[in-house]
A and B are shown apart, each in its own frame.
Chain A
Amino acid sequence: GESVGLHLPTLSVQEGDNSIINCAYSNSASDYFIWYKQESGKGPQFIIDIRSNMDKRQGQRVTVLLNKTVKHLSLQIAATQPGDSAVYFCAEKYSSASKIIFGSGTRLSIRP
């Protein structure tokens, strides 16, 4: 399944399938991007980041893709597991700034 931007707040995926969470960021000057996972009752947990001089970065079961032309960021989770259930936030940063700007979040739910 695939969410089309953060105006679709919930993504439901079959266990074992791949998940794709999309994010449209706002500032063309942003040069650093982060994905966070937030489980219920916990603080946001860093998943993966990418700098603007890259268009793809891979971690363990996760891949982040960056398309600066259309200001689009995506998080791909391979072989989605029940433990992946959470709200996922993208965040952008202009590197010399102290602030990061969070997107509105996408809830990922896993169907057994």
Chain B
Amino acid sequence: DAKTTQPTSMDCAEGRAANLPCNHSTISGNEYVYWYRQIHSQGPQYIIHGLKNNETNEMASLIITEDRKSSTLILPHATLRDTAVYYCIVLFKAAGNKLTFGGGTRVLVKP
């Protein structure tokens, strides 16, 4: 699976949009971009995923560049409960594929 690069940490003001970048320059054509987050002392939580089109759900939006070498997760109105480590992963949707989390981005939402 392709490797991803994310900033180590970022701060965000409560109520503002949080834009989390992810580089995945070695992504292959059949690999999906997934985002998970892990709030302190909780299990990882699925946020969103996409292949090449932009995606939106009730939690976030995912913007994937046309060349698919990078993406941005957007939390439209960050709340204090969004403070977590956010992980960007690329992988095939093959059964049995294991998830591997890199360092992720530690997001701190401040009042």
To the question of whether A and B form a pair in one complex, the answer is no
Interface residues of B (CB under 8 A from A): none
Interface residues of A (CB under 8 A from B): none
